Structure 1
């Protein structure tokens, strides 16, 4: 199997909420090994795109290729197992807990020890 130079390819992705288009045939590529930014004004569809990418919502049309596999419409847990997930802006953290303990509050049993072990390998995180 030939490895694509693009880790992520989104083609003609569309999503509507009621009669309002949130995404209309959006296409872009993110090259393997490169940092890619998604910027735009409020209401441009950035969050909707990330929600489609991470499986939080299903697109109405289009294709999302991650490492060559079409993940459009996959559930969030299935997409997470491929290595894609997102976090939500939440200012209701527990102020008396460490960074690690706040993260662990959201850890599901399915994530298993490998997630925790990866976190503990991050520089400086073990003692926070």
Structure 2
């Protein structure tokens, strides 16, 4: 698997951005509001990476102030279609994942030697 393909899968924000853009084009601030927890820097970096990979387009409108919009390309739409079952599973499994993490952390803490 190439580094670019790997970044789409293991990047924390890439699929969330693609999912948000599935509803249609968004401006940067709309994406930032739609994606809980993403920093401005990480959103910028991930958008550039997705644009470079051909997943989305960045359109600059020559108005004052400048307006920039992001939209999925056909490749991005295909990615969203392929990732939708994974995104749905993640949403459904999140409570179980969080419970497993808490249990693991508790066991790991109990296994530490007393100070």
**In proportion to residue count, which structure has more strand?**
1
Please tell me whether Structure 1 or Structure 2 has the larger radius of gyration of its CA atoms: 2
TM-score, normalised to structure 1, is 0.24
**In proportion to residue count, which structure has more helix?**
2
